[in-house]
């Protein structure tokens, strides 16, 4: 099995500093710090210059840092000094006169405190620097994502085999989470969305007390997390009793929209144009106003990463990107259908990483006990 090369990841960022017009870069996003160091704790920032690396943490993580980041220079603060002060002191010690910081990870309060502590130095807001590199998954990351998909799919089959008419959305959610953990997942990749009938018409619904018997349609949006922090994200619809003609029509429309979109994913394709393919098909079928969200998103250490498919996206697909494709149609008060799979962009086109069948017949369970 491969292993992550954190030194190489940091070096790529360090080589960017000159073009970013900064002498040092203070990285505070939790997932970005983890991506660049392997550290799984929190409350820790990373300071990079062109020729130095420094992880700023506290006494709670001293032993953990030695285990996870052996050899990485570390500043350990105690309770007499806060994280901002420790970071500011590190910047001063580095001699940097121009500091880049992660704008979308830095509150106004933290920025103002840094600005005060670093008076006379130039602070530059940077956006998406580490996230851009994270869009392209390396071999080790792809192994982790495949593992997260495996855990999620095995959990799904347990739930499918144990579904009963009296089960509630919450009970299904808890069963799914337990099943994924039993196969090796550290937990769910996010709070599973379990929706029966009208609940399924809410794209980000919370599982409630609605029982399966109340409606013949059940939507499950779920994923697993590995011990290394990587995630998966799938959605399937199951028919627990005879579906209505409208349910069949909506399901068929969503499935074809997804198929057309996946077929179009390849290096050089524009994310917005792939989104338009699925959106246009749904629009032509008469359901355009019932599909309001983007077609898909990147994922990895976070369940939503910077790669996005939407009408607003300016991104272009590159080999190594991993993205969900999840068109949906949501009829308020009735039901919703979303079908979601995880796709890897390859040099030749794409690979569908998820394997749970999504054809209409596979979605039909028939009458449950």
CA distances for 72 relative to 10, 38, 39, angstroms = 12, 10, 10
Residue ranges of alpha helices (H) inside 5-82 are 6-14, 17-20, 30-37, 62-68
Measured distance CA(35)–CA(27) in Å, rounded: 11
Of 133, 153, 169, which one is at a domain's C-terminal end?
133
Q: How many other β-carbons are positioned within 10 Å of the β-carbon of residue 81?
A: 12
pTM: 0.96
Residue segments in the chain with a per-residue pLDDT below the cut of 70: 1, 367-369
Of 86, 111, 133, which one is at a domain's C-terminal end?
133
The reply to whether 60 and 166 lie within a common domain is: no
Query: How many separate domains does the chain show?
Result: 2
pLDDT of residue 142: 98
The reply to whether 331 and 203 lie within a common domain is: yes
The answer to whether residue 368 is domain-embedded is no
pLDDT of residue 2: 84
pLDDT of residue 367: 63
**75 close to 56: Cβ distance less than 8 angstroms:** yes
Q: How many other β-carbons are positioned within 10 Å of the β-carbon of residue 286?
A: 11
The reply to whether 112 and 253 lie within a common domain is: no
Kindly tell me the burial class for residue 189, based on how many C-beta atoms sit within 10 Å of its own C-beta (0-12, 13-18, 19 or more): buried
Domain limits for position 34: 6-133
pLDDT of residue 164: 95
127-149 burial: b if 16+ Cβ within 10 Å, else e: eebbbebbbebeeebbbbbbbbb
pLDDT of residue 369: 61
The reply to whether 227 and 146 lie within a common domain is: yes
pLDDT of residue 1: 67
The reply to whether 116 and 154 lie within a common domain is: no
Of 101, 133, 165, which one is at a domain's C-terminal end?
133
349-369 burial: b if 16+ Cβ within 10 Å, else e: bbeebbeeebeeeebbeeebe
pLDDT of residue 68: 96
pLDDT of residue 304: 98
Chain Cα centroid distance, residue 171:
25
Angle between helices 83-94 and 108-117 (to 10 degrees): 40
- The residues with which 54 forms a beta bridge, in sequence order, are 47
**237 close to 328: Cβ distance less than 8 angstroms:** no
The reply to whether 47 and 94 lie within a common domain is: yes
């Amino acid at each position: 099995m491969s292993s992550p090369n954190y030194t190489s990841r940091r070096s790529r960022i360090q080589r960017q500093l000159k073009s970013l017009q900064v002498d040092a870069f203070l990285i505070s996003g939790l997932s970005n710090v983890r991506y660049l160091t392997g550290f799984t704790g929190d409350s820790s920032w990373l300071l990079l210059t062109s020729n130095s690396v420094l992880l700023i943490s506290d006494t709670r993580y001293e032993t953990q840092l030695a285990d996870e980041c052996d050899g990485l220079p570390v500043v350990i603060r105690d309770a007499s000094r806060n994280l901002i002060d420790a970071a500011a002191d590190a910047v001063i010690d580095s001699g940097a006169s121009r500091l880049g910081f992660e704008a979308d990870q830095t509150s106004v309060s933290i920025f103002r405190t840094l600005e005060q502590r670093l008076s006379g130095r130039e602070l530059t807001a940077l956006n998406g620097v580490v996230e851009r590199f994270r869009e392209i998954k390396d071999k080790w990351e792809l192994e982790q994502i495949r593992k997260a998909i495996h855990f999620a799919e095995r959990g799904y089959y347990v739930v499918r085999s144990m579904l009963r008419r009296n089960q509630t959305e919450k009970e299904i959610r808890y069963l799914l989470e337990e099943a994924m953990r039993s196969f090796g997942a550290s937990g769910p990749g996010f709070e599973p969305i379990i929706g029966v009938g009208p609940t399924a018409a809410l794209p980000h619904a919370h599982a409630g007390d609605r029982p399966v018997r109340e409606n013949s349609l059940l939507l499950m949006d779920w994923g697993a997390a590995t011990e290394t922090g990587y995630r998966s994200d799938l959605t399937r619809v199951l028919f627990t009793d005879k579906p209505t003609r409208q349910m069949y029509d909506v399901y068929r429309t969503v499935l074809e929209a997804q198929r057309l979109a996946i077929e179009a994913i390849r290096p050089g394709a524009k994310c917005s144009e792939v989104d338009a393919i699925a959106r246009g098909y749904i629009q032509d079928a008469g359901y355009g106003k019932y599909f309001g969200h983007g077609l898909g998103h990147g994922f990895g250490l976070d369940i939503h990463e910077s790669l996005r498919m939407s009408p607003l996206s300016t991104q272009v697909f590159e080999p190594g990107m991993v993205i969900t494709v999840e068109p949906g149609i949501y009829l308020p008060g009735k039901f919703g259908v979303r079908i979601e799979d995880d796709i890897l962009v390859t040099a030749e086109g794409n690979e569908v990483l998820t394997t749970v069948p999504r054809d209409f017949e596979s979605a039909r369970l028939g009458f449950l006990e």
